[in-house]
Structure 1
Amino acid sequence: MGGNMAKMMKQVQKMQADMAKMQEELANRTVESTAGGGVVRVVANGRQEIVSVEIKPEAVDPEDVEMLQDLVLTAVNEALKLAQDMMTKEMGKLTGGLNIPGLF
């Protein structure tokens, strides 16, 4: 019985190490989202941090700032969703699809 427990603990430790490595790799990977036909572009990393925002000059209309705000908001939310999806998909490969609470 003790041998099985030790084996299981080793497997858990290996999974934790693999997951830490995967999270580090994902932090360097990015996803991109655009809005308004590409006039607003947002890039997020695997840590769900926004790493860049590009706004083309034609998106800037002093008479309609609300439209630009909406485009930025849409692109940011989509980039964060894509980053979360990327993390979930890659971590799922390590956990065999098990949803382990508090892991990511």
Structure 2
Amino acid sequence: MDFSDLGKLKDLMGNAKLMQEQMEHRLSETVVEATSGGGIVTVRMNGRKEVLRLRISPTAMGSTGSDLELLEDLITAAVNEAGRRADEAMKSSMQGMMGGLDLPGLT
């Protein structure tokens, strides 16, 4: 390996670090929303899969234990759907950043 190869490697590593920083920024700025139960539960999540907001419609509150179990199921479904949407948004974003490169495991 000669000095020009080392320079290229250094440039490549710098570019990779810059891309990682850009991706972290996009992860924090990407926001998705999902609902379940016809809008009874709404979850807003960022690209890091951090729940930013959980809204529960007042109509969801009932007087029986089965209502609570249903609400728990609706929350779980909304969080899972928001996670899938965050994955899809980030996959699309990464494909744009990579400029069409076909790198196994990244897209």
TM-score (norm 2): 0.79
1:65 to 58, 61, 68: 68
SS in 1 for 2:75: helix
- Distance, in Å, in 1 between the alignment partners of 2:45 and 2:27 is 11
Match of 2:103 among 98, 101, 104: 98
Residue 4 to residue 93, structure 1, CA distance change in 2 (3 Å): farther
- For 2:19, the equivalent position in structure 1 comes to 18
What is the one-letter code of the residue matched to 2:94? M
Who is 1:29 aligned against?
30
Aligned length: 101
Q: What is the Cα deviation at residue 61 of structure 1?
A: 1.7
- The separation in 2 between residues aligned to 1:10 and 1:100, in whole angstroms, is 22
SS of aligned partner of 1:82 = helix
Instruction: Determine helix, strand or coil for the equivalent of 2:38.
Output: helix
TM-score, normalised relative to structure 1: 0.81
Q: Which runs of 5 or more structure 2 residues have no equivalent in the other structure?
A: none
One-letter amino acid of the structure 2 residue matched with residue 90 of structure 1: S
2:34–2:78 Cα contact (<8 Å) kept: yes
Residues 90 and 97 from structure 1, CA distance in 2 versus in 1: closer, same or farther, beyond 3 angstroms? farther
- 1:31·1:82 contact (CA, 8 Å) conserved in 2? yes
* In 2, Cα distance between equivalents of 1:82 and 1:97: 22
1:43 matched residue in structure 2: 44
